[in-house]
Amino acid sequence: MSTVRVTHIGGPTALIEFAGWRLLTDPTFDAAGGAYAFGWGTSSRKLTDPAIPADALGPVDAVLLTHDHHGDNLDAAGRKLLASAGTVVTTVPGAGRLGGGARGLGPWASTTLEGEGRPTIEVTATPCRHGPPLFRPIVGDVVGFALRWDGQRHGVLWISGDTVLYGGVRQVADRLTVGLALVHLGGVRFPVTGPLRYTMTARDAVDLLEAVRPRTAVPVHYEGWKHFSQPRAVIEREFADAPPDVRDSVRWLPIGTPTDLET
């Protein structure tokens, strides 16, 4: 059995601990109240403080950064934290912007994380599309991450990243066996672009989880920001009508509380 401890800090930010490793996803540690521009007239405001401040987090061995260019995935306090992290893994363009030895991965490319006395982790980037078709030049590159190490019982640990439901992300169902999934939701949209979505809705997530069939699915990226149009209550209503295997796989984590999960 392989157990990981996951602490959902808020938004897309989670601390993943196992076998001596401490991995952090999408660092967002700014205080509530700040306004953030995402380009092309889109913007948002942060509504809640992080459950754990950056200076109380402790050491971080690696940051898994789905993308570096939006403040709801990497804000100022999170960017400052990168300097003290052992390794940063992100998109190829993001690694170029960040410098400092950041590792850039395109979809289905892999790298390894190694540490003395700890299992080697294979990190594979998975496809994302952060908005409608043909919007990549506007919204930029995003990836998810699949983590594989010896001893996993149910499959890889998968972080979906900010993505809509499309053929690329559906490839995960064909190429990976997933034990634990952190699924980015929120149904992101902006007044200036009307009904267009930039992350999955709950309905999208049900469709994807039916295909991927993880043992456990943990919703993240659904609270704490004004542009998240589907909060937990909306997502729960959709999940309540999902097929039993999807409904039973969903595990809501108390924000800020370490929770042990199997993978």
Q: What is the pLDDT of residues 27-86, one digit of tens each?
A: 999 999 999 998 888 999 999 999 999 999 999 999 999 999 999 999 999 999 999 999
Tell whether 263 is covered by a domain.
no
Tell whether 14 is covered by a domain.
yes
- How many C-alpha atoms does 93 have within 13 Å on its Cβ side? 11
pTM over 0.85: yes
Tell whether 259 is covered by a domain.
no
Question: Token pair for residue 60?
Answer: 């971080």
Q: Are residues 154 and 180 in contact, defined by beta-carbon separation less than 8 angstroms? A: yes
**What mean pLDDT is predicted for residues 14-18?**
98
Cα–Cα dist 243/130, whole Å:
26
Task: Tally Cβ neighbours within 10 Å of residue 236.
Answer: 13
159 three-class SS:
strand
Tell whether 222 is covered by a domain.
yes
Bridge partners of residue 178, in order along the sequence: 156
Tell whether 234 is covered by a domain.
yes
**CATH number for 20:** 3.60.15.10
- For β-strands 42-45 and 259-262, DSSP reports them as unpaired
Return the higher-pLDDT residue of 1 and 141: 141
List pLDDT tens digits, range 174-209: 999 999 999 999 999 999 899 999 999 999 999 999
- Give the per-residue pLDDT at 61: 98
Cα–Cα dist 58/141, whole Å:
29
Q: Is the pLDDT of residue 1 over 60?
A: no
Tell whether 261 is covered by a domain.
no
Mean pLDDT across the chain, nearest whole number? Answer: 96
Tell whether 238 is covered by a domain.
yes
- Give the per-residue pLDDT at 129: 98
Question: Token pair for residue 154?
Answer: 């149910």
Tell whether 81 is covered by a domain.
yes
Number of compact structural domains in the chain: 1
Question: Token pair for residue 111?
Answer: 């790298």
DSSP H helices, the chain, are 76-82, 92-98, 136-139, 167-175, 202-212, 232-240, 244-249
List pLDDT tens digits, range 85-140: 999 999 999 999 999 999 999 999 999 999 999 999 999 999 999 999 988 888 99
Question: Token pair for residue 119?
Answer: 């299992």
Phi, psi of 94 (to 5 degrees): -65, -40
Q: Which domain holds residue 99?
A: 3-252
Cα–Cα dist 139/260, whole Å:
34
List pLDDT tens digits, range 133-177: 988 888 999 999 999 999 999 999 999 999 999 999 999 999 999
Q: Are residues 155 and 177 in contact, defined by beta-carbon separation less than 8 angstroms? A: yes
Return the higher-pLDDT residue of 1 and 172: 172
69 three-class SS:
coil
Report which residue type is found at 72.
Answer: D
Q: Is the pLDDT of residue 218 over 70?
A: yes
